[in-house]
Amino acid sequence: MKIFLFADGFDDAIIGIYGVSRRVIYSIFNCIEILMDTMSEKEAIEYFEYNTMNVYIGEKTPIWCFDNF
């Protein structure tokens, strides 16, 4: 059994762990910055929202945190 579920390619965007449910917390801002290495800001936001943030993969689905605003 996996204790934590990590999003591939976003290790640098991890900002914490929610201990109660053992879920990884990611900075949305940092995730988009990572995606902007290979695409425009608009493309990165659209890709992240559709392919990452709005995907439910069970009780260990990562927590996406709006920060750095």
> At residue 2, does pLDDT exceed 80?
no
Give residue-wise pLDDT tens across range 15-45: 999 988 899 999 999 999 999 999 999 999 9
Helical axes 28-35 vs 41-48, angle rounded to 10° = 120
Asked whether the CA dihedral 65, 28, 6, 47 is positive or negative, the reply is: positive
Q: Rounded distance, CA 24 to CA 37, Å?
A: 23
Beta bridge partners of 16: 25
Return the domain boundaries, the chain. 11-65
> At residue 69, does pLDDT exceed 70?
no
> Of all residues in the chain, what percent carry a pLDDT higher than 70?
94
pTM: 0.88
